[in-house]
Amino acid sequence: MKIVKLKLKERSYPICIEEGAINKSGCLLKKLNLGSDAVIITNRYLEKKISPTLKNSLKKHNISSKIYVVPDTEKAKSFRYCLNLIDKISKHDKNKRLFLVALGGGVIGDLTGFVASIYKRGIAYVQIPTTLLAQIDSAIGGKTAIDLPIAKNLIGAFHQPKTVIVDPGLLKSLPKRQLKAGLAEAIKYAVIKDESLFSFLNNNYKKIMALDKEAIESIETKCINIKSQIVEQDEKEKKGIRTILNFGHTIGHAIESAGGYNRYNHGEAISLGMLCAAEISCNLKMLRKEQLDKIIFLVKLYGLPVKIKGIALSKIMSSLAKDKKFIHGKNRFVLPVGIGRVKVVTHIPENTIRKAILKYSSPN
Amino acid sequence: MKIVKLKLKERSYPICIEEGAINKSGCLLKKLNLGSDAVIITNRYLEKKISPTLKNSLKKHNISSKIYVVPDTEKAKSFRYCLNLIDKISKHDKNKRLFLVALGGGVIGDLTGFVASIYKRGIAYVQIPTTLLAQIDSAIGGKTAIDLPIAKNLIGAFHQPKTVIVDPGLLKSLPKRQLKAGLAEAIKYAVIKDESLFSFLNNNYKKIMALDKEAIESIETKCINIKSQIVEQDEKEKKGIRTILNFGHTIGHAIESAGGYNRYNHGEAISLGMLCAAEISCNLKMLRKEQLDKIIFLVKLYGLPVKIKGIALSKIMSSLAKDKKFIHGKNRFVLPVGIGRVKVVTHIPENTIRKAILKYSSPN
């Protein structure tokens, strides 16, 4: 089993990567001495497919568990589910040795982490991510959140999990579209920090899409290492270091939001966001044209969108203005300056942003 | 101005104690560079009486402010007010340089701190406590919470304020019953850590009840120093050090809860809780009878209750069993072993607890 240790003093934790790791979860969690009772938050599909394995493994190590099922959509990240979950937890919390397990993708991880952060001023939780996106990104680093009608992720907390169990075997039942969405985040890591990962993604399309064990474990370990190192340096996104993880996310979020969160999924939207950011960088003479073309090629290779369809530029621009990453009313972008290197740039002229988005927009 | 510095690395903050400090709040907050826009959370009475002074002081230092009024009862510590407040904040949050100000007692401090902890994964807030209890206890140390129908303070976070402005002048309009409730917490500090404070309270009844400037500032500084030192050693109540602040609170909370939160206020309930804990200690031969009598005398001196009236023992016992401080289903009490010294004791026989509560119960 590969272990990446995320080091944050008393909040440090191991990220365990291995195909079949889910079968060892009881043993892994027992060693961490998190408690005797677990509440597993998951969706209907995973409840049937994966949770029996997890429950058995926990039971073998004398950890009782209850399941709480939430919808498999962003809807689950609401105050309503938050309150219902707390009610469920408090009923199961007899021995005061309870912890939470997020078994699912980013939505379930965010909700579970947030509830763990506020229940009794913070209890333990673990992440067992089941999508590629969650395995390499959202399950790591302790960012938790729920949505309010006025804005996504408006409410949240930094609350680190006690461990993350990454089982690439769980990806086998993942729809291809979601796998690709996860690969968009892998491309992000490659562009911001790791040229060798970029080449690997470029040269191993077939193996990766076939979920070849070694190829996937290799990508995941690289991505998780990058994320861990960044989180270690800037846990609460206060030093401008963690900011680079937002490459592609500024315009990406605006595209998601302007599309009403149903036209593009997160990975697709940030693919488009990465292209726009790279375009801006190219226009500002910070990125060479051939490097921009390499990024476009890789995004295209994995079947991720390279054109924004059916969303008006004006809508994207007005969503952008509301972004919480626009500090003090001024814009701030993470721009690639090569493959594996980015810079945080502020005060980009609105027209430059507008032109870049327009270039990747399609009239249809 | 007396400044007690609460040292928690990057979360350190000054606690500023001075009569009239409210007039300097704009200057104090400007120096801390918290932002350009404030939302002040307060109640209807304080909005009229105190907030104009505060708003003026902020305005002089170019800090805009909006007021959010909540009820002056525990009702304000609900999800409903939490959500309404977030809505209000997000509307005022144009420049992304917003912070919160809690102007009120413990309820307002708890709600404000909790909202500050979850809005955008944590924003700055300051405490301007207006009751003695909040000035010496609840406003300091970063414990925040709201209630759910199933239990008080079930949801919360540890989120330190950026400063606490303690103005004893604000206590002049405080009802005597609330002043006494605050003195109950002062007695608590004296019993757990400071024999000289105990003597001071014993020897200066008149001055204290007349809100003599020097007497109050002296008590407040002593209490705040004790609280700060304990919080510095055990910020998140994980090492069993902060636990001693719960002296009187275990049975006290059970009395509050069994009384439906309207028979006794917090200070009154913990007075009774302190007597019961001291009685248990005496029965276990850990506290001398004459020391117990001294504690009873001081509680009586300040007109705090020494008899539980109109609440059945069985109700108190069943509330006790639900206490979140009862870890792993076992009880845990903070017991005085002298004036200025306490011990944390677990596994106290139920009958010993029962007898102590019965002794301080009155049939009427």
Separation CA B105–CA B266 (nearest Å): 12
Predicted confidence (pLDDT) per residue in A85-106, tens digit: 999 999 888 777 899 999 999 9
Q: Is the model's pLDDT at B329 over the cut of 80?
A: no
A151 touches chain B (CB under 8 A): yes
pLDDT of residue A160: 98
> What count of other Cβ atoms lies within 10 Å of the Cβ of residue B200?
18
Q: In DSSP terms, which residues pair with B119 in a beta bridge?
A: A155
Separation CA A18–CA B262 (nearest Å): 56
Q: What percent of chain A has pLDDT over 90?
A: 89
Mean per-residue pLDDT for A279-286?
Answer: 98
CATH class of A2-173: alpha beta
Instruction: Answer yes or no: are the C-beta atoms of B19 and B169 closer than 8 Å.
Output: yes
- Minimum mean pLDDT range among A144-158, A225-239, A315-329, B163-177: A315-329
| Whole-Å CA distances, B278 to A11, A331, B251 | 37, 60, 11
The residues of A that are catalytic are: 121, 143, 185, 227, 237, 242, 246, 249, 253, 266
Calculate the average pLDDT of chain B.
Answer: 95
Separation CA B296–CA A322 (nearest Å): 59
pLDDT of residue A6: 98
pLDDT of residue B149: 87
- Minimum mean pLDDT range among A104-108, A311-315, A327-331, A333-337: A327-331
Nearest to A178 by CA among A147, A215, A209: A209
Beta carbons of B157 and A118 less than 8 Å apart: yes
Q: What is the H or E stretch that residue A39 is in? A: strand A37-42
- Please write down the HEC assignment for all residues of chain B: CEEEEECECECCEEEEECCCHHHHHHHHHHHHCCCCEEEEEECHHHHHHCHHHHHHHHHHCCCEEEEEECCCCHHHCCHHHHHHHHHHHHHHCCCCCEEEEEEECHHHHHHHHHHHHHECCCCCEEEEECCHHHHHHHCCCCEEEEEECCEEEEEEEECCCCEEEECHHHHHHCCHHHHHHHHHHHHHHHHHHCHHHHHHHHHCHHHHHCCCHHHHHHHHHHHHHHHHHHHHHCCCCCCCCHHHHHCCHHHHHHHHHHCCCCCCCHHHHHHHHHHHHHHHHHHCCCCCHHHHHHHHHHHHHCCCCCCEECCCHHHHHHHHHHCCCCHHHCCEEEEEEECCEEEEEECCCHHHHHHHHHHCEECC
Mean per-residue pLDDT for B248-264?
Answer: 92
pLDDT higher at B261 or A41: A41
pLDDT of residue B326: 62
pLDDT of residue B363: 76
Q: What percent of chain B has pLDDT over 90?
A: 89
pLDDT of residue B60: 97
Separation CA A114–CA A122 (nearest Å): 9
Q: For chain A, give the number of residues.
A: 364
B346 touches chain A (CB under 8 A): no
pLDDT of residue A364: 65
Q: Quick check: do A2-173 and A176-362 share a fold?
A: no
- Angle, CA A280 vertex, CA A277 and CA A281 arms, to 5°: 85
Backbone angles phi, psi at B154, to 5 degrees: -70, -25
pLDDT of residue B177: 96
pLDDT of residue B328: 54
Separation CA B82–CA A70 (nearest Å): 23
pLDDT of residue B364: 65
Instruction: Using CA coordinates, name the residue in chain B closest to A142.
Output: B121
For the record, the structure tokens of B48 come out as: 């009229």
pLDDT of residue A236: 94
**B83, B143, B155: residue with CB nearest A119:** B155
| Whole-Å CA distances, A118 to A77, A171, A197 | 14, 30, 37
Give residue B327's pLDDT band: very low, low, confident or very high (50, 70, 90).
low
Beta carbons of A119 and B327 less than 8 Å apart: no
Beta carbons of A155 and B96 less than 8 Å apart: no
Beta carbons of B157 and A122 less than 8 Å apart: yes
pLDDT of residue B190: 98
Q: Is the model's pLDDT at A327 over the cut of 60?
A: no
pLDDT of residue B323: 72
pLDDT of residue A325: 59
Mean per-residue pLDDT for B45-49?
Answer: 97
Q: In DSSP terms, which residues pair with B32 in a beta bridge?
A: none
pLDDT of residue A149: 87
- Angle, CA A158 vertex, CA B9 and CA A241 arms, to 5°: 75
Mean per-residue pLDDT for A285-303?
Answer: 98
**What's the order of all strands across the beta sheet hosting B13-17?**
B2-6, B13-17, B163-166, B125-129, B98-104, B37-42, B64-69
Mean per-residue pLDDT for B266-281?
Answer: 97
Predicted confidence (pLDDT) per residue in B72-98, tens digit: 899 999 999 999 999 999 988 877 789
The CATH number of the structural domain formed by A176-362 is 1.20.1090.10
Calculate the average pLDDT of chain A.
Answer: 95
pLDDT of residue B70: 97
Beta strands at B37-42 and B98-104: parallel, antiparallel or unpaired? parallel
DSSP string covering A260-280:
TTTSS-HHHHHHHHHHHHHHH
Nearest to A279 by CA among A267, A265, A291, A269: A291
* Complex-level ipTM: 0.92
Predicted confidence (pLDDT) per residue in A102-137, tens digit: 999 999 999 999 999 999 999 999 999 999 999 999
Mean per-residue pLDDT for A304-327?
Answer: 86
**All structural domains of chain B with their residue ranges:** 2-173, 176-362
For the record, the structure tokens of A268 come out as: 């697709």
Instruction: Answer yes or no: are the C-beta atoms of B65 and B34 closer than 8 Å.
Output: no
Conformation bin of residue A40: beta by default, left when phi > 0, alpha when psi is -120 to 50: beta
Mean per-residue pLDDT for B51-78?
Answer: 96
Give residue B330's pLDDT band: very low, low, confident or very high (50, 70, 90).
confident
pLDDT of residue A262: 86
Nearest to B66 by CA among B74, B50, B56, B55: B55
Give residue A329's pLDDT band: very low, low, confident or very high (50, 70, 90).
low
Which of A87, A91, A118, A323 has the most B C-beta neighbours within 10 Å, making it the best mutation to test the interface with B?
A: A118
In terms of C-beta distances under 8 Å and separation of at least 24 residues, what long-range contacts does A11-14 make, across chains too? A11/A142, A11/A160, A11/A235, A13/A160, A13/A161, A13/A162, A13/A163, A13/A164, A14/A163, A14/A164
Q: Is the model's pLDDT at A150 over the cut of 90?
A: no
Predicted confidence (pLDDT) per residue in A184-217, tens digit: 999 999 999 999 999 999 999 999 999 999 999 9
Q: What percent of chain A has pLDDT over 70?
A: 98
Backbone angles phi, psi at A349, to 5 degrees: -55, 140
**B86, B119, B155: residue with CB nearest A118:** B155
Nearest to A179 by CA among A231, A142, A219: A219
